[in-house]
Structure 1
Amino acid sequence: MVSRVIPVDPFDLVIFGGTGDLARRKILPGLFRRFLAGQMPPESRVIGAARSEYGDDEYRAEVKAALEEFIAKDSRPAKDVKAFLDRIHYVAIDATGKAGWSDLKKLLRSDVVQAFYFSVAPSLFGPLAERLHEWKCAVKDARIVVEKPFGRDLESARALNRTLGDHFDESQIYRIDHYLGKETVQNLMAVRFGNMLFEPLWNAQYVDHVQITVAETVGVNGRGAYYDKSGAMRDMVQNHLMQLLCLIAMEPPSRFDPDAVRDEKLKVIRALDPVDKNDIVRGQYVSEEDGESYLEQVEDPDSLTESFIAMKLNISNWRWAGVPFYLRTGKKLKARASEIAIVFKDAPHSIFGQELGRHRNILAIRLQPNEGITLGVTIKEPGPGGMRLVDVPLDMTFKDALGPDGDEIPDAYERLIMDVIRGNQTLFMRGDEVEAAWAWTDPLIKGWIERGERPKSYDVGSTGPEDAAVLMHREGRKWRDIKA
């Protein structure tokens, strides 16, 4: 199968925070891969902007070093690296002052697509938007890309929306969530709405429950100061897991159009019930090794911030009434894995008898590692000896099913940046969507703070606190195993 690469229009992409970690690890390598794929027109340019007093050549050396670190040697031919670096420029700029803005304005072109990537701390989002407007750097249809966290509560999210809205229209603001750029997440919509097989079954009549798991093996090393003010709820549930939940639970949009899709996602958030305190489990990882426990990696030795959270959610609408959605995410767990599992109900009557055990169809959408989709079906175990049932997966792992092109699936950032250049907001959050998510999240956080609840301890390398398993067991269910 030959993948089709559609070039975008010529563009100027300014990366504020162009010397930062995200730019080095994801944005610049992703742009280079799009360049190799032939998706960047020759007239396109990438402009780094940061406080460092670099010239173009010095910044190009930084970009080259990033490519050498994050892209395999055989995937970066020297001539292509040189051609890509020729498109790189740099402006030393003060995000909160005047220095560098006139230089940036002179460098920018008004006859190409303009995009400004805010790869900086959230406190700089407002000042950057204000200065782009003040210095008349941005053309009428310019786009700004805003990284999470988009606020830390409803009040701050509203304030940020107002600040950005003072200078840019909602159609110009791209709130990026890299989870939505993953191939499997987009395939979730294709599976649901492109196959008659699944959509008629995608409701409370046939689905027993849904599980969403985002497990990490890393801790908070180096990010303790930020993470301890955030926690798993703000860092993961309010954005990443909420977006996955919306894509699973939303009604079919009238068309595959940015606002039509986001309208349906918003309805899901607004239909979420408040969560009972007994349906939430929070945890902190502990270790016998010095320096490995959560409390040893943050400044506050009595911190009540969670590094793990599991919860049971209910959606009050006709499609999902009575179907629990179980979410869990945490750090320092046994494996790195992200998965959505749609667990279908048992057959209403088993002609084989109860002694052959319980067998269920499970549609598992795997986001990482090894993106793909499997559908578990029940068949007869081969061989003599009578009727014995066994569950087997119908495997749709992309790199196997799509041949050589399966190994060339673009990184999420690559796809999302190209969508920004195209002006396609389908996979980006809208302002009212962000505010609705915070309006649901804030009371939960406020509740456990007021109760002074201490997170449950769990061992590094485990699946989380025992109470998370109990959350499922008390209703006769269990979490799917976390596998790398």
Structure 2
Amino acid sequence: MASERSALFIFFGGTGDLAYRKLYPSLFNLYQKGTLREKFAVVGTARDKLTDEKFREKVQKSIGSDSKEAEKFISHFYYEAHDVTDKAHYSVLKERAVELDKKYKLQGNQIFYLSMAPNFFGTVAGYLRSEGLVNDKGFSRLVIEKPFGRDYDSAKALNEALAQSFDEEQIFRIDHYLGKEMIQNIEALRFGNTIIESLWNNRYIDNIQVTLSEKLGVEERASYYDKSGALRDMVQNHIMQIVSLLAMEQPVAFTDSDIRAEKVKALRSLRVYNVAEAATNFVRGQYDAGGKINPYREEDNVPADSNTETFVAGKLMFDNYRWSGTPFYIRTGKVLADKFTRVDVVFKKPLVDIFSFPGSSTSKPLDTNVLTLYIEPKAGFALKINAKNNDQGFQTAPVTMEYFVDPEDSKKTPEPYERLLHDALKGDGTNFSSWQEVSYAWKFVDQIRKVWDLQQPNFPNYTPGSMGPAAADELIERDHRQWVYRLNK
């Protein structure tokens, strides 16, 4: 049985798409599993004028249940029309918070969830502190959605604004990829298996590939996306977090502080490229027309001359003892062949291939061993090894050993936002980004962005349904390697 937790949740942006689509259903899952029962309350805030009753109707629709249990759950929901820039509104919010704390015996525990435009983060944090909503009676935690800044300078300014009102251990920066089952399995795979961790270094691993492929285009996010692009939207946060888990050293203990410390060390050793290196080791793309897909520049709310990238591929190098000389290849993009996330760990071949005899017509070189982590949509592992086939003579052939999470078990797997809300309740920052992680990621990405801003790209340069521009293949082939996942292989 889950341990019951008590807290007041205040959602800024409480009538937004994310709240209805992800946050409230995740809270309902926690309620059904016993993490939330009687001692919790939720206040949704936004500019909309809603009564508590109307708000509850919308919440009930979002969780998709009209059971007695659902009715009891939504009875804990309340609404306050709120202008985040109006100091007076925080006094009203504080009155409601005090009232609900007493009614539900919440012991002063509070989680402030900011699901809104990032330019208001500092304003909200400041007023929460100055107007007395942050109290010393229980815990007060600030959960923030991405993006956390648009470059290092803006992220640093935002962090300094938040630090005036909240300590670092009170700030929980959401990256929903860290809530995914198989992302969290990276640590179990590495540090729970001697056979894996003993080989997890540059002596045995040739390269590591991380692919985040999206099948859809920008859709209704075009206004935001055109100011961001794939580098800021996907690489700076999701990909850098995955890479840090793959590259980190074993922590002293499985605690949030120890894990974060090792991730920071890994990111500190990530080579920040100079201008020439950035231009050589990173490529970008923008999709053209294909099938029913319009060219990116013809999407709604996208300028006709936009140079925003919808695809990125690059090579990362870590200058440390474990990974020196072993490249990490990354790629992500819109309207690619399919929607999936995977990590391919490519091992080195034996120094001597005794099965490939010179001049022999019956033998062929050994295949490369590859460990694949399937993150989504299916979850599991696959290990490709070499074995003798059943034919006459002696020939080797690749054999794949696989494990995939059972579909029935998958239904029981907590959604990423459910996991992260649960962790925020516990005060566990393991699966949230620390400021140091964010800062090192921005410093690396800013250098790539700086170089790209000096160049005029040849866009559009890839077709929907492909795996990106030809330059992405050329990037890895230049190192005499190839992508493990590729079309028409």
Specify if TM > 0.5.
Answer: yes
Q: State the distance in 2 between where 1:474 and 1:49 align.
A: 53
The match for 1:227 is 225
* 1:335/1:482 contact within 8 Å kept: no
Q: State the distance in 1 between where 2:22 and 2:133 align.
A: 25
Q: State the distance in 2 between where 1:58 and 1:386 align.
A: 75
Letter in 1 for 2:94: K
**Against the structure 1 CA distance between its residues 427 and 8, is the aligned structure 2 distance closer, same or farther, given a 3 Å change threshold?**
farther
**Against the structure 1 CA distance between its residues 461 and 135, is the aligned structure 2 distance closer, same or farther, given a 3 Å change threshold?**
same
Of 17, 20, 23 in structure 2, the residue corresponding to residue 21 of structure 1 is 17
1:399 to partner: Cα distance: 2.2
Q: Secondary structure at the match of 2:10?
A: strand
Q: Secondary structure at the match of 2:195?
A: coil
Unaligned runs of 5+ in 1: 69-75
1:353 to partner: Cα distance: 1.5
Q: State the distance in 1 between where 2:451 and 2:110 align.
A: 43
**What aligned pairs does 1:98-247 form with structure 2 within 5 A after superposition?**
98=87, 100-108=89-97, 109=101, 111-140=107-136, 141-247=139-245
Letter in 2 for 1:364: T
Q: Secondary structure at the match of 1:203?
A: coil
The match for 1:312 is 315
Moved more, 452-461 or 114-123: 452-461
Q: State the distance in 1 between where 2:179 and 2:26 align.
A: 12
Number of matched pairs: 468
Q: State the distance in 1 between where 2:143 and 2:460 align.
A: 37
Q: State the distance in 1 between where 2:293 and 2:352 align.
A: 54
The match for 2:360 is none
Deviations 1:247-272 (CA, angstroms, capped at 9, x unpaired): 00011111112121111111222211
1:226 to partner: Cα distance: 1.1
Quick check: 1:370 aligned with 2:378? yes
1:105 to partner: Cα distance: 1.1
**Against the structure 1 CA distance between its residues 482 and 423, is the aligned structure 2 distance closer, same or farther, given a 3 Å change threshold?**
farther
1:54 to partner: Cα distance: 0.9
Quick check: 1:477 aligned with 2:481? yes
Of 387, 392, 397 in structure 2, the residue corresponding to residue 390 of structure 1 is 397
**Against the structure 1 CA distance between its residues 367 and 51, is the aligned structure 2 distance closer, same or farther, given a 3 Å change threshold?**
same
1:290 to partner: Cα distance: 7.6
Quick check: 1:12 aligned with 2:14? no
The match for 1:468 is 472
The match for 2:430 is 426
**Against the structure 1 CA distance between its residues 388 and 112, is the aligned structure 2 distance closer, same or farther, given a 3 Å change threshold?**
farther
Deviations 1:199-256 (CA, angstroms, capped at 9, x unpaired): 1100000000000000001111221121111111000001100000000001111111
Q: Secondary structure at the match of 2:124?
A: helix
Q: Secondary structure at the match of 1:451?
A: coil
**Against the structure 1 CA distance between its residues 481 and 63, is the aligned structure 2 distance closer, same or farther, given a 3 Å change threshold?**
same
Q: State the distance in 2 between where 1:61 and 1:459 align.
A: 44
Moved more, 208-217 or 102-111: 102-111
Q: State the distance in 2 between where 1:11 and 1:112 align.
A: 7
Q: State the distance in 1 between where 2:399 and 2:323 align.
A: 27
Letter in 1 for 2:109: V
Moved more, 159-168 or 443-452: 443-452
The match for 1:90 is 79
* 1:215/1:330 contact within 8 Å kept: yes
**Against the structure 1 CA distance between its residues 25 and 482, is the aligned structure 2 distance closer, same or farther, given a 3 Å change threshold?**
farther
Of all paired residues, the percent bearing the same amino acid is 40
**Against the structure 1 CA distance between its residues 77 and 442, is the aligned structure 2 distance closer, same or farther, given a 3 Å change threshold?**
same
Quick check: 1:51 aligned with 2:58? no
Q: Secondary structure at the match of 1:13?
A: strand
1:99 to partner: Cα distance: 5.2
Deviations 1:115-138 (CA, angstroms, capped at 9, x unpaired): 011011101111110111122112
1:291 to partner: Cα distance: 6.7
The match for 2:387 is 379
* 2:296/2:302 contact within 8 Å kept: no
1:454 to partner: Cα distance: 3.8
Letter in 1 for 2:465: G
1:480 to partner: Cα distance: 2.3
**What aligned pairs does 1:255-266 form with structure 2 within 5 A after superposition?**
255-266=253-264
Unaligned runs of 5+ in 2: 358-362
1:182 to partner: Cα distance: 0.8
Of 11, 24, 32 in structure 1, the residue corresponding to residue 28 of structure 2 is 32
* 2:46/2:80 contact within 8 Å kept: yes
Deviations 1:7-59 (CA, angstroms, capped at 9, x unpaired): 24211111111110111111111111121222213211222111111111100
Q: Secondary structure at the match of 1:328?
A: strand
Q: State the distance in 2 between where 1:83 and 1:380 align.
A: 61
Deviations 1:313-350 (CA, angstroms, capped at 9, x unpaired): 11101100110110000001010010111111112222
The CA RMSD over aligned residues, in Å, is 1.8
**Against the structure 1 CA distance between its residues 104 and 312, is the aligned structure 2 distance closer, same or farther, given a 3 Å change threshold?**
same
Q: State the distance in 2 between where 1:351 and 1:331 align.
A: 43
Quick check: 1:79 aligned with 2:71? no
TM-score by length of 1: 0.93
Q: State the distance in 1 between where 2:123 and 2:66 align.
A: 39
Q: Secondary structure at the match of 1:464?
A: coil
Letter in 2 for 1:387: F
Q: State the distance in 1 between where 2:478 and 2:447 align.
A: 25
TM-score by length of 2: 0.92
1:139 to partner: Cα distance: 2.0
